C-alpha cells in the first residue's frame, strides 16, 4: 500500500510541474516574426545560400582549385576550369571557374566548402528562399551565385 501511495504522489508532483511550465508559457507574450512584411533576423553564423565573392577590383576570387567540390560530402558542387588570358581576365589567378554549379537538391549546408576554400571565394549568405516546384530550378549557376560588381569596378 505504501508503494502505491508513493507512486501516486510522485505522479501528481510530476503532473503539477509539467502543468506549471505550460501555464507559465501560456501567459508569456508570443515571439513571432512577421516575415512577409518585415525582414527576418538571422544570427551571424546562419548558413544560407552560397555566395561567390569578388575581390576589390571586381575580379572573381575563385581560382577553380576544386577543393570545395572535393570537401563536399553530398557531391553537389560541379566546377569546370578555364585559363585566364591577358585580354580576357576573369580572376586574378591563372585559372577561373568557367562553370560553377551548386545543386541545392543535394546540398546539406554543412559549410565544408566554405572551410576548404583557400582564397575565401565561397561563403554562406543570408538567402533562404529557395523553394521551387521544379527540381531543375534548384541548380544554381555561377551567374546566380556571384555577388554583384562593386560600384568602383563598374566604371
pLDDT in tens, 37-63: 988 888 888 999 999 999 998 999 999
- In the chain, where are the structural domains located? 1-31, 50-145
* Residue 68 · residue 117 · CB < 8 Å: yes
- Residues in Cβ contact with 33 at an 8 Å cutoff, skipping those fewer than 6 apart: 40, 41
On the question of pLDDT at 151 being above 80, the answer is no
Rounded-to-integer distance, Cα 153 and Cα 155, Å: 6
Of 64, 119, 56, 59, the closest CA to residue 91 belongs to 59
pTM of the model: 0.75
* Residue 97 · residue 74 · CB < 8 Å: no
- One of 3.40.50.970, 3.30.70.3270, 2.120.10.80, 3.40.50.720 is the CATH number of 50-145, namely 3.30.70.3270
Rounded-to-integer distance, Cα 103 and Cα 139, Å: 4
Place of cell 521551387: 132
Q: What is the DSSP string of 36-102?
A: TTSPPP--TT---SEEE-B-TTS-B------HHHHH-TT--EEEEEEE--SSS--BSSSEEEEEEEE
Q: Report pLDDT digits (tens) over 87-124.
A: 889 998 999 999 999 999 999 999 999 999 999 999 99
Amino acid at each position: 500500500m505504501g508503494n502505491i501511495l508513493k507512486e501516486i504522489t510522485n505522479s501528481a508532483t510530476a503532473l503539477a510541474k509539467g502543468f506549471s511550465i505550460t501555464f507559465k508559457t501560456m501567459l508569456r507574450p508570443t515571439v513571432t516574426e512577421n516575415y512577409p512584411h518585415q525582414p527576418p533576423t538571422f544570427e551571424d553564423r546562419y548558413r544560407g545560400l552560397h555566395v561567390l565573392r569578388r575581390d576589390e577590383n571586381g575580379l572573381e576570387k575563385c581560382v577553380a582549385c576544386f577543393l570545395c567540390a572535393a570537401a563536399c560530402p553530398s557531391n553537389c558542387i560541379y566546377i569546370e576550369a578555364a585559363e585566364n588570358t591577358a585580354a580576357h581576365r576573369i580572376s586574378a589567378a591563372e585559372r577561373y571557374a568557367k562553370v560553377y554549379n551548386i545543386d541545392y537538391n543535394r546540398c546539406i549546408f554543412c559549410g565544408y566548402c566554405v572551410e576548404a576554400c583557400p582564397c575565401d571565394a565561397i561563403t554562406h549568405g543570408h538567402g533562404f528562399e529557395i523553394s521551387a516546384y521544379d527540381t531543375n530550378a534548384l541548380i544554381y549557376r555561377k551567374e546566380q551565385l556571384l555577388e554583384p560588381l562593386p560600384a568602383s569596378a563598374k566604371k
